[in-house]
Amino acid sequence: MMVDWKDHIASDPEILRGRPRIKGTRIPVSLVLGYLAAGQTAEEIIAEFPDLTRDQIAACLDYARDLAEFAVEA
């Protein structure tokens, strides 16, 4: 199942100084990605943050993938 990160991630300069976050929360995408990088499973992250869903966690990965594909001109 594909998840479009744009359905789950928002950025607003008035919230978390514009850092990307899960819509409707103050949970930054970077926090979720940090948990995943540390080896946490989606279930473990949801246990820590019960308001999150598997789709929102997948959206964080999709967001990171999009950023990694962004080409920077040297």
Does the domain at 5-68 match CATH 1.10.10.10? Answer given as: yes
The terminus-to-terminus CA distance of the chain in angstroms comes to 36
For 5-38, the pLDDT digits (tens) are 999 999 999 999 999 999 999 999 999 999 999 9
C-alpha pair distances (Å), 13 with each of 3, 62, 69: 25, 22, 24
Cα-Cα-Cα-Cα dihedral sign, residues 58, 62, 20, 68: positive
What pTM was estimated for this model as a whole?
0.88
pLDDT reading at 1 higher than 70: no
Q: How many angstroms from the chain centroid is the CA of residue 17?
A: 16
Distance CA 56, CA 9 (A): 8
Distance CA 67, CA 72 (A): 11
